[in-house]
Amino acid sequence: MSHDTIAINRQMNKFDSHASVWLFGYGSLIFKPDFPFLAQRAASISGWTRRFWQGSHDHRGTETAPGRVVTLVPDPDAICHGMAFLVTPEEFAHLDQREKNGYLRLATQMQFDDGSSDEGIVYIATHDNAAYLGPADEHAIARQIATARGPSGPNSDYLLGLAQSLRALGKPDPHVFEIERHLAALGVTQQYA
């Protein structure tokens, strides 16, 4: 599958007739929502785990030096915590553009912290997209993140912003926090707020 998934995502019309739909964010959407939303709630989805296995050629890296950003990988015993945003379907055009580098818009069931649940969408970059970098140990991921930079800024700011947001939610993520620990050992701190 190509890097650019906009055309594929436009075919996903399950929620187009809805007045609003929940969007589950587990990466930069948690700390950098650049779209209007009607409501925001802490949420989680089951059966997925967050991993820095997706390449970023358009935001946190370049074609020749991609950064690493998160995607979700199947894990039947996992729960991925994040933030849900209630959006109107008109926001899909912007979100499809933002998530175009290999991410597909998929339907998912999400649970809210109050025990309620609802169906919504999540963007996941599967292993068959052209920007997928795949597994690596946290130290190797940290080294790549430490040097990558793209139009949206240093890759390290993405990792550090995500770690800070997960702490604020009270939802630790061992994978994210271990990469953060390795970044600190490399002397990398957040460059921009």
Catalytic residues: 99
SS (H, E, C) 151-170: CCEEHHHHHHHHHHHHHHHC
Beta strand residue intervals within 66-179, DSSP E: 67-87, 103-112, 117-125, 149-150, 153-154
Structure tokens at 1: 């599958």
**CA-CA distance, 53 to 129, in Å (whole number)?**
11
Q: Using DSSP, state whether 138 is helix, strand or coil.
A: helix
User: What distance in Å separates the CA atoms of residue 127 and residue 149, rounded to the nearest whole number?
Assistant: 23
Tokens of 41: 């709630």
Distance CA 125, CA 106 (A): 10
